[in-house]
Amino acid sequence: MFGLGLALLAGVIISAQFKRADPIRLRDEVIVTIVGVIAAFCLLVGYRLLLNRPNRFGSLLTPVAWQILGVCLAATAAAMAVLCIAQGTYTLILGSVLLGCLAYGCIVAGRDLRAPAASSRVFPPETSLLRMEGFTPAGFRCGIEILNDDRTPMEFVVAVLTEALGFNQTDAIRTMLYIHQNGGVLLSRDSPEEATRVAEAVAAEARAQNHPLVCRAVSVEESVASPAS
């Protein structure tokens, strides 16, 4: 929405310049360039978000990038406001206000993304998700169980999901965030043999990199056969 609004604003400024008989002023060129660049960025962000292509934070940008963007937008808004007041023209004050609002939104977004651990859920390594409500997918017979922990990097989990389980990048990030927020996940496999092979490969890779990630093969039959702890 901001991208479309700023693009419209840039178009209005350019149209007004062509209608004037006076030569184009440097101030107007700078303003149009700034507004155009920000509009292009906002449109790109909106386009990517519509396609749901988040990073490991569940967003398009990292927390630091959001805050840097917010500071840059705030500085641009302030500079535009000062320039308008100094020139005695107040037609672009609305644009400055909109940029200020966008800057505030970016800073808030970066701040909120900084605390994913607050919603993190960690179970003991011996936890069986098959015995807990809300984790077993419909029709689940066998597969692998991955538990969240406080030490395994998110990037490693995403890499495991893409390389060992064949997830695309978007689905891998979504699943990683689900594991992080809910404490674990059960992923169906076609056979117990495949589940065992995948789980052993993931566990071996985690051990090789000194990550305590819990990944094991599980099946409904084994869970029913074993006594509840």
Residues 130 and 215 in one domain: yes
Quick one: pLDDT at residue 76? 83
My answer on whether 6 and 109 are in the same domain is: yes
Residue where a domain terminates, one of 84, 114, 144 = 114
Please indicate, yes or no, whether residues 95 and 159 belong to a single structural domain of this protein. no
Per-residue model confidence (pLDDT) at position 200: 95
Sort residue 211 into left (φ over 0), alpha (ψ -120 to 50) or beta: beta
pLDDT at 126: 92
**Which residues partner with 146 through β-bridges?**
185, 215
- Report the domain count for the chain: 2
Range of the domain at 165: 120-225
Q: What is the amino acid identity at position 90?
A: Y
Same-domain status, 99 and 125: no
| pLDDT tens for each residue of the chain, 229 residues long | 777 877 787 777 777 766 766 665 666 677 777 777 777 777 777 776 666 555 566 666 778 878 888 888 888 888 888 887 887 777 778 878 888 888 888 888 877 765 544 467 899 999 999 989 889 998 899 999 999 998 898 889 999 999 999 999 889 988 998 998 899 999 999 999 999 999 999 999 999 999 999 999 999 876 655 554 4
Q: Are residues 108 and 163 in the same domain?
A: no
Give residue 213's pLDDT: 95
Q: Alpha-carbon distance 226 to 24, whole Å?
A: 81
DSSP run (H or E) holding 188: strand 184-188
Query: Which of 70, 92, 114 is the endpoint of a domain?
Result: 114
Q: 89 with 149, same domain?
A: no
Q: Which of 164, 153, 150 is nearest to 199 (CA)?
A: 164
**Whether residue 154 sits in one domain with residue 52:** no
What's the whole-model pTM score? 0.52
Residue located via tokens 């985690």 = 206
**Same domain membership, residue 158 and residue 71:** no
162 and 219 belong to one structural domain: yes
User: Checking DSSP bridges between strand 142-147 and strand 184-188, what pairing results, if any?
Assistant: antiparallel
